[in-house]
């Protein structure tokens, strides 16, 4: 209860509006308009690639863009559907349907809120970089693979789900390639690449969609060209915000979709905090990671009731916001309003957009996500980092993103434990102790002689399950039976239950051998843990000493009595 009372939730927009001016509003307005226009083709492309209708992608961008800006912890973060979710969303829709996706998204939103409430945001940022690059690059390759059919205009009745089966099926259908579709795809890619060189502020994806939609319209309707499939050939566009609907929650469905929801939550948390961190590096601001997770959670709780898909912070749109002068969360809210107006008044025109054009946009998205330069540089690092990188990458591509994230998190924990245990050590001193690094300046040049029959074990680092067994190893090496053992704990910042258990066993075994245990230099935090357990009673308060000098004196007394 005390922890819950300490939680404070204050969206960044509250602080941003305190000194809001007309000049700031004008900057946010212009940036919001541009970001809204940039977000339109991406929202449509992500919606279709995720296995849902295009307007669901736009609805997600509208609601998530508004809610995260209103409740999040970053001033310039722009949220919506992203490429990272395509693979997992497509898999959920294929296996559990739209209702299953809605339930999984809602559950993921609740998880994100809880992550923020219990301040897990700061922990998520410490996930090893090779894991993030591994599954991000894997997602990029998977997105590219899903677009081959529309990229080449292949005539396929069914596209298999798995990565390898997809390429086998593609190989058998390349003779059905539509040159018109392939030409539109190539032109889309070229326009997106070349537009920034002409005008950096004009979104290349929007230019490609406008130009090639007009071209495709005339080719199909005026010249009778076939082989150019458009959005309207597959979907019926609804240019309206749908009424909220129930999502059919039940314990059975919650149990069934828990794993998928956890994957969405973890991926959303990592992507949003990564995007916010990148934004901080450009703006010099500092986002609140826990508030940002709560904002993302609120968005993902509400979006599924309107038929939307999972949303998170989008690096490309966030950077567009920054580069066009966005200063406060108001720009993200304006971007959502612009998307709403486009959906209501121009939504019906989206049915003429060629699928090959959207495929071209997603090819560029997957290329930008691939981080192939970073991937290549990580292959030159340590063997452990390389193995983690490749494991996460291949699990994402060949098997499933859910498995990749779960295994990736396990690998992250193992790597953390290994590295912390490597920095922790237990040494045995039997002759003398150097006092040059103690808290007693007057003893800077002295050495403290260890009496006969006394051993000193010094623990350097956390005393947790990763290093607890090192005691047994050291005792087996020494082999002798002293009359007293001093365990020097001045450099132990914390002790966990496994360390306590190991210490209890050491004390019990020492008692059987008539060896006294003395603790030295125990800090307040560790002492509080010892007093809550049986260790303090087993040793006795008189044998928990504040310094090594006091511990040595105590050991001399005990040895003299024996």
Quote the CA–CA distance of 230 and 180 in Å, as a whole number: 12
CB atoms within 10 A of CB 233: 11
Average pLDDT over residues 197-220: 89
CB atoms within 10 A of CB 267: 25
What is the structure's pLDDT at 1?
44
Quick one: tokens of 390? 């490749």
Instruction: Tell me the pLDDT band of 520, cut-offs 50, 70 and 90.
Output: very high
Instruction: Tell me the pLDDT band of 456, cut-offs 50, 70 and 90.
Output: confident
- Stated as kind and residue range, the H or E segment containing 538 is helix 535-539
String of DSSP letters for 208-267:
HHHHHHHHHHHHHHTS---S--BHHHH-----SPPPP------HHHHHHHHHHHHHHHHH
What is the structure's pLDDT at 8?
59
- Evaluate if residue 115 carries a pLDDT over 90: yes
What is the structure's pLDDT at 480?
64
String of DSSP letters for 490-510:
EE---B-HHHHHHHHHHHHHH
Quote the CA–CA distance of 57 and 42 in Å, as a whole number: 8
What is the structure's pLDDT at 62?
97
Comparing 406 with 204, which gets the higher pLDDT?
204
What is the structure's pLDDT at 375?
94
- Evaluate if residue 435 carries a pLDDT over 60: yes
Of 164-168, 348-352, 446-450, 456-460, give the lowest mean pLDDT range: 446-450
Quote the CA–CA distance of 45 and 360 in Å, as a whole number: 10
- Evaluate if residue 89 carries a pLDDT over 90: yes
Mean pLDDT (the chain) is 87
Of 119-133, 271-285, 430-444, 524-538, give the lowest mean pLDDT range: 430-444
Quote the CA–CA distance of 260 and 103 in Å, as a whole number: 10
Instruction: Yes or no: say if 408 and 400 are a contact pair by the CB < 8 Å rule.
Output: no
What is the structure's pLDDT at 131?
86
What is the percentage of the chain residues whose pLDDT exceeds 90?
A: 48
- Evaluate if residue 265 carries a pLDDT over 60: yes
Instruction: Note the Cα 170 to chain centre separation in Å.
Output: 33
String of DSSP letters for 439-492:
S-GGGTT-EEEPPTTEEEEEEES-BSTTTTTHHHHHHHHH----SEEEEEEEE-
pLDDT in tens, 274-299: 899 889 988 888 999 999 999 999 99
Instruction: Tell me the pLDDT band of 531, cut-offs 50, 70 and 90.
Output: confident
Instruction: Tell me the pLDDT band of 407, cut-offs 50, 70 and 90.
Output: confident
- Evaluate if residue 469 carries a pLDDT over 80: no
**Hey, which residues does 427 pair with through a beta bridge?**
458
**Hey, which residues does 449 pair with through a beta bridge?**
432
Quick one: tokens of 494? 């914390």
Per DSSP, the three-state class of 494 is coil
Contacts of 53 (CB under 8 A, 6+ apart): 47, 235, 236, 237, 238
Of 124-133, 190-199, 248-257, 549-558, give the lowest mean pLDDT range: 124-133
* CA 317 vs CA 95, 266, 279: distances in Å: 30, 21, 11
Quote the CA–CA distance of 130 and 380 in Å, as a whole number: 12
Quote the CA–CA distance of 270 and 268 in Å, as a whole number: 6
Of 40-54, 407-421, 472-486, give the lowest mean pLDDT range: 472-486
Q: What is the largest CA-CA distance in the chain?
A: 108
What is the structure's pLDDT at 7?
52
What is the structure's pLDDT at 445?
46
Instruction: Note the Cα 17 to chain centre separation in Å.
Output: 29
Instruction: Yes or no: say if 313 and 276 are a contact pair by the CB < 8 Å rule.
Output: yes
- Evaluate if residue 339 carries a pLDDT over 90: yes
Instruction: Tell me the pLDDT band of 451, cut-offs 50, 70 and 90.
Output: confident
Instruction: Tell me the pLDDT band of 239, cut-offs 50, 70 and 90.
Output: confident
CB atoms within 10 A of CB 561: 8
Most confident of 114-118, 218-222, 514-518: 114-118
CB atoms within 10 A of CB 362: 26
What is the structure's pLDDT at 52?
93
Quick one: tokens of 298? 């609120």
pLDDT in tens, 308-322: 999 999 988 999 899
Instruction: Tell me the pLDDT band of 147, cut-offs 50, 70 and 90.
Output: very high
Residue owning tokens 């929801």: 261
What is the percentage of the chain residues whose pLDDT exceeds 70?
A: 93
- Evaluate if residue 370 carries a pLDDT over 50: yes
What is the structure's pLDDT at 252?
92
What is the structure's pLDDT at 470?
60
């Amino acid at each position: 209860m005390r922890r819950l009372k300490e939680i404070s939730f204050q969206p960044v927009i509250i602080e941003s509006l305190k000194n809001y001016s007309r000049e700031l509003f004008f900057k946010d307005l212009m940036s919001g308009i541009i970001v809204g226009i940039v977000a339109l083709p991406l929202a449509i492309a992500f919606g279709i690639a995720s296995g849902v209708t295009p307007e669901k992608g736009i609805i997600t961008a509208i609601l998530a863009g508004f809610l995260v800006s209103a409740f999040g912890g970053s001033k310039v973060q722009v949220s919506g559907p992203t490429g990272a979710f395509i693979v997992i969303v497509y898999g959920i829709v294929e296996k559990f349907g739209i209702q299953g996706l809605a339930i999984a998204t809602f559950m993921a939103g609740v998880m994100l809120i809880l992550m923020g409430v219990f301040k897990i945001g700061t922990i998520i940022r410490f996930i090893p970089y090779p894991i993030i690059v591994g599954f991000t690059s894997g997602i990029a390759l998977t997105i590219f693979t899903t677009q081959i059919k529309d990229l080449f205009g292949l005539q396929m009745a069914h596209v298999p789900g798995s990565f390898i089966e997809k390429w086998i099926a593609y190989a058998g259908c390349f003779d059905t390639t539509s040159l018109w579709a392939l030409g539109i795809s190539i032109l889309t890619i070229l326009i997106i690449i070349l537009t920034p060189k002409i005008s950096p502020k004009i979104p290349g994806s929007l230019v490609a969609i406008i130009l090639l939609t007009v071209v495709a319209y005339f080719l199909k309707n005026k010249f009778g060209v076939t082989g150019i499939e458009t959005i309207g050939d597959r979907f019926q566009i609804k240019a309206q915000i749908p009424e909220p609907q129930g999502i059919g929650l039940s314990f059975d469905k919650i149990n069934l979709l828990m794993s998928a929801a956890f994957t969405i939550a973890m991926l959303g948390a990592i992507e949003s905090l990564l995007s916010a961190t990148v934004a901080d590096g450009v703006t010099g601001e500092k986002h609140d990671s826990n508030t940002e997770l709560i904002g993302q959670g609120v968005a993902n709780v509400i979006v599924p009731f309107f038929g939307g898909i999972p949303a998170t912070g989008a690096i490309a749109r966030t950077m567009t916001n920054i580069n066009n002068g966005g200063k406060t969360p108001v720009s993200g809210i304006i971007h959502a309003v612009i998307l709403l107006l486009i959906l209501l008044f121009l939504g019906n025109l989206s049915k003429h957009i060629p699928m090959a054009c959207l495929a071209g946009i997603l090819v560029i998205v997957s290329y930008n996500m691939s981080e192939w330069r970073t991937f290549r540089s990580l292959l030159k690092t340590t063997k452990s980092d390389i193995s983690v990188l490749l494991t996460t990458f291949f699990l994402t591509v060949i098997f499933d993103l859910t498995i990749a994230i779960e295994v990736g998190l396990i690998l992250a924990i193992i790597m953390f434990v290994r590295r912390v245990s490597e920095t922790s050590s237990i040494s045995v001193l039997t002759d003398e102790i150097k006092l040059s690094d103690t808290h007693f300046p007057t003893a800077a040049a002295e050495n403290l002689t260890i009496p006969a029959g006394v051993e000193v074990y010094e623990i350097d680092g956390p005393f947790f399950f990763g290093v607890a067994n090192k005691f047994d190893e050291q005792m087996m090496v020494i082999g002798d039976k002293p009359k007293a053992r001093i365990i020097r704990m001045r450099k132990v910042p914390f002790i966990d239950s496994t360390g306590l258990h190991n210490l209890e066993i050491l004390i019990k075994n020492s008692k059987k051998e008539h060896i006294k245990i003395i603790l030295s230099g125990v800090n307040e935090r560790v002492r509080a843990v010892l007093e809550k357990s049986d260790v303090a009673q087993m040793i006795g308060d008189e044998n928990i000493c504040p310094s090594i000098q006091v511990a040595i004196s105590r050991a001399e007394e005990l040895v003299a009595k024996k």
